[in-house]
Structure 1
Amino acid sequence: MSAAPKDINSIRPWRTIERRKSRKIRVGSVEVGGDAPIAVQSMTNTLTHDIEATVGQTLALQEAGADIVRVSVPDPDSSAALRAIVDQVQVPLVADIHFHYKRGIEAAENGAACLRINPGNIGGQDRVREVVAAARANGCSIRIGVNGGSLERELLEKYGEPCPDAMVESALMHARMLDDENFHDYKISVKASDIFLTVAAYHQLAEATDAPLHLGITEAGGTRIGTVKSSIGMGNLLWAGIGDTIRVSLSADPVEEIKVGFDMLKSLGLRTRGVNIISCPSCARQGFNVIETVKTLEDRLAHISEPISLSIIGCVVNGPGEAMFTDIGFTGGSAGYGMMYHAGKKTGKTDNEDMIDDIVRSVEERAAELRGA
């Protein structure tokens, strides 16, 4: 197969996204911030002390491509279970800690790569100092997680309601508590369920700190509406160059969060994991059933992790043009046949009955080439 087409960003500069310059930290083996790829993460919804269930869900997220997985640590049984869970997975784990500082210490000692914690909620600077000491001793970073639904009472009294100023003030207050301990391996999030509030808060925070930022629209809803809200809000920020790691919050199987997260990044050219299918909505001109074909290809190509672009277009109006900028393409024709393309070049006709097998074979061959290179 011939070489892949030239990087589209090099010939279309208006696609270039200049990422905000942030300092780099580590979450276990994963770099976050600086020039590191934007990390995609999700969170388990199992009871963490159910080790088998939590390991199973974490492995499913890992297989889907998750860079980082967060688990809730609300009690001593959960923090104790972390050690067994960490030993059975490869992806770094973030321990979600609320209010009780001892859970943070235990999680750091039991293998968590990061603690999600608000320093101001755990009982004063002395307790923050203890958590920081445990984090530092165990190579553990921290995420300051500000949420529009749980702002400090004094900030709500000051501002009257959750607003960007209140959220950023909360974040910077928590950050100062870590800075005062000479601990700078932290990232920050300022999430809300309101898209406008979230985007405004992140823009303001991005100007106020060089800490890496974790993006998300919290409590976004089910798969469809949550994907829409997240894509609008997080897409706006990512396009502006803001964001070093993301979590798409969906009331759905956590694996769907990883899929949507990668699709979001692929759409902006920020990550390229897996097959990026470009397909038309179909119309009366289609030479084959586009919708069913794309559904089938999404399932049959889900195992491919190499970055490959694939165009599936129903007719010759747009098909050849789309194929010019994809690794592999198929354009519907007449009399039950369509045209295959590799790197924008015609490679021959394929009948509609065999096209799915031929497309899958072509993608798998391209993936093998990329692995070999």
Structure 2
Amino acid sequence: MGEKTRMFHRKDTRPVRVGDLTIGGSDEVIIQSMCTTKTADVKATVAEIHRLEEAGCQLVRVTVNNMEAADAVKEIKKQINIPLVSDIHFDHRLALAAIENGIDKVRINPGNIGRRSKVEAVVKACKERGIPIRIGVNAGSLENHLLEKYGYPTPEAMVESALFHIGILEELDFHDIIVSLKASDVPMAIAAYTQAAQAFNYPLHLGITEAGTLFSGTVKSAAGLGALLSMGIGSTMRISLSADPVEEVKVARELLKTFGLITNAATLISCPTCGRLDIDLFSIANEVEAYIANLKVPIKVSVLGCAVNGPGEAREADIGIAGARGEGLLFRYGEMVRKVPEAELLNELKKEIDIIVHEFNRTGEIPGRRQHQERIELAQKQAQAQHS
């Protein structure tokens, strides 16, 4: 077999500063979204960004398609708490105006804004202010010479496009670069990002473009981005949905939790339905999910329908309930704490969650988790000793 091609893991990529964030060079994956408002409408744009911030968005992009939008950047920046990215197409003057007004990152394809002097002007302005550039390759808008060469959008064509734009910036000694290679076709996007991770060490911005509505787009994005995240690819991501952008952030946080790539979010464990259910599991699980949705605490909460498999299935939960007719069980790490009347089950769980959150905010630790991990490690050592 031939030698395996090296692939740059996200933690081995070049760190790029964006405002007060660093993208690349670590295992952290930054969550971003894009405003749906007219950027020149400062009030509406700021209001939407505040909603995104509250949901956990770390970086937000706005379209800068005219000079009014570019001028609005200055006032928007004054009223928000996360870095702001400008989305620029073709007109380098809009990029220069956004930079002048304090933008934190520019999304632009240097090959699409005209003669070299225009590119040099944008790069010079970015260099002077320490502003990075995202090269945004899209399967739907590849250069004509690449379509002629490959006959159709392909992963290879997308990577070649990225390398072309990277080359323009590198010739000008500019290296604060982030790259995206978006396609609506999931296998194509996975292949393009994988090949890009083998071709260069600039951090990658993940996304499946035109993914779809809240339901279908979530499934599509989870399939594509989940595959890439599992390979260590991607330093920032946007879930693109035809929905309220706050939903994009919620899905992104949930996806990152799945891979253990986020440490300030609560996780809900709930069981599927079966004939043993004696409580209204759906409504309880939904209410608990809403209760913990905005917690910036890495608590694991379990809501299970019965006591047969429940505690064992959720032995990693910091707190959980298993329902039964008349009464249910409150448990931690698979061990029963006490029995609770069915009518009080939900309120008791919320009280326990509040206690854990309070203790975490006070001490920086989830109460009981360290001891639980120590018990696991001891049990594993004992098992290994018995079978060695």
TM-score under structure 2 normalisation?
A: 0.89
2:192 is matched with which residue: 198, 201, 215?
201
State the partner residue of 2:140: 149
Deviations 1:305-360 (A, max 9, x none): 11111111101232111331111111113x32111113443211122222222212
Q: Judge which range, 35-44 or 251-260, deviates more.
A: 35-44
The separation in 2 between residues aligned to 1:160 and 1:317, in whole angstroms, is: 58
The 5 A counterparts of 1:33-112 are 33-35=24-26, 37-112=28-103
Deviations 1:295-314 (A, max 9, x none): 11122222311111111110
The separation in 2 between residues aligned to 1:303 and 1:197, in whole angstroms, is: 34
State the partner residue of 1:294: 285
1:237 is matched with which residue: 202, 211, 228?
228
The separation in 2 between residues aligned to 1:317 and 1:273, in whole angstroms, is: 31
How far the C-alpha of 1:122 sits from its partner, in A, is 0.5
How far the C-alpha of 1:184 sits from its partner, in A, is 0.7
Unmatched runs of 5 consecutive residues or more in structure 2: 1-8, 364-388
The separation in 2 between residues aligned to 1:289 and 1:43, in whole angstroms, is: 37
State the partner residue of 1:12: none
Deviations 1:71-116 (A, max 9, x none): 1100000010000001000010111111111111111111111001
State the partner residue of 1:338: 328
Which of 1 and 2 has higher RCO (CA within 8 Å, sep 6+)? 1
| Aligned-partner residue type, residue 269 of structure 2 | I
How far the C-alpha of 1:36 sits from its partner, in A, is 5.0
1:161 is matched with which residue: 152, 163, 186?
152
The 5 A counterparts of 1:297-336 are 297-333=288-324, 335-336=325-326
Secondary structure in 2 aligned to 1:144? strand
1:116 aligned to 2:111?
no
Deviations 1:264-293 (A, max 9, x none): 010111113322101112222123111111
How far the C-alpha of 1:261 sits from its partner, in A, is 0.3
The separation in 1 between residues aligned to 2:194 and 2:11, in whole angstroms, is: 11
Secondary structure in 2 aligned to 1:353? helix
| Aligned-partner residue type, residue 96 of structure 1 | D
How far the C-alpha of 1:186 sits from its partner, in A, is 1.0
| Aligned-partner residue type, residue 208 of structure 2 | I
The separation in 1 between residues aligned to 2:119 and 2:357, in whole angstroms, is: 48
Secondary structure in 1 aligned to 2:79? coil
How far the C-alpha of 1:125 sits from its partner, in A, is 2.2
1:250 is matched with which residue: 238, 241, 247?
241
Change (3 A) 1:125 1:286: same
Do the aligned residues in 2 keep the contact of 1:164 with 1:200 (CA within 8 Å)? yes
State the partner residue of 2:374: none
Q: Judge which range, 354-363 or 70-79, deviates more.
A: 354-363
State the partner residue of 2:345: 355
State the partner residue of 1:372: 362
Change (3 A) 1:20 1:161: farther
Do the aligned residues in 2 keep the contact of 1:281 with 1:291 (CA within 8 Å)? no
| Aligned-partner residue type, residue 204 of structure 2 | L
Number of residue pairs matched by the alignment? 355
Secondary structure in 1 aligned to 2:32? strand
1:176 is matched with which residue: 156, 163, 167?
167
TM-score under structure 1 normalisation?
A: 0.93
| Aligned-partner residue type, residue 146 of structure 1 | V
How far the C-alpha of 1:27 sits from its partner, in A, is 1.1
Do the aligned residues in 2 keep the contact of 1:167 with 1:201 (CA within 8 Å)? yes
Do the aligned residues in 1 keep the contact of 2:10 with 2:24 (CA within 8 Å)? no
How far the C-alpha of 1:24 sits from its partner, in A, is 0.6
| Aligned-partner residue type, residue 354 of structure 1 | E
Do the aligned residues in 2 keep the contact of 1:301 with 1:360 (CA within 8 Å)? no
State the partner residue of 1:14: none
Do the aligned residues in 2 keep the contact of 1:46 with 1:53 (CA within 8 Å)? yes
The separation in 2 between residues aligned to 1:112 and 1:359, in whole angstroms, is: 44
The separation in 1 between residues aligned to 2:281 and 2:201, in whole angstroms, is: 46
The separation in 2 between residues aligned to 1:181 and 1:372, in whole angstroms, is: 50
| Aligned-partner residue type, residue 34 of structure 2 | M
| Aligned-partner residue type, residue 199 of structure 2 | A
The separation in 2 between residues aligned to 1:93 and 1:210, in whole angstroms, is: 24
The separation in 2 between residues aligned to 1:370 and 1:180, in whole angstroms, is: 49
The separation in 1 between residues aligned to 2:156 and 2:346, in whole angstroms, is: 53
2:23 is matched with which residue: 12, 20, 32?
32
2:257 is matched with which residue: 237, 261, 266?
266
| Aligned-partner residue type, residue 341 of structure 1 | F
The separation in 2 between residues aligned to 1:91 and 1:40, in whole angstroms, is: 11
Do the aligned residues in 1 keep the contact of 2:133 with 2:178 (CA within 8 Å)? yes
Unmatched runs of 5 consecutive residues or more in structure 1: 1-17
Q: Judge which range, 278-287 or 179-188, deviates more.
A: 278-287
State the partner residue of 2:380: none
Do the aligned residues in 1 keep the contact of 2:11 with 2:26 (CA within 8 Å)? no
Larger radius of gyration: 2
| Aligned-partner residue type, residue 31 of structure 2 | V
| Aligned-partner residue type, residue 331 of structure 1 | A
Do the aligned residues in 2 keep the contact of 1:288 with 1:336 (CA within 8 Å)? no
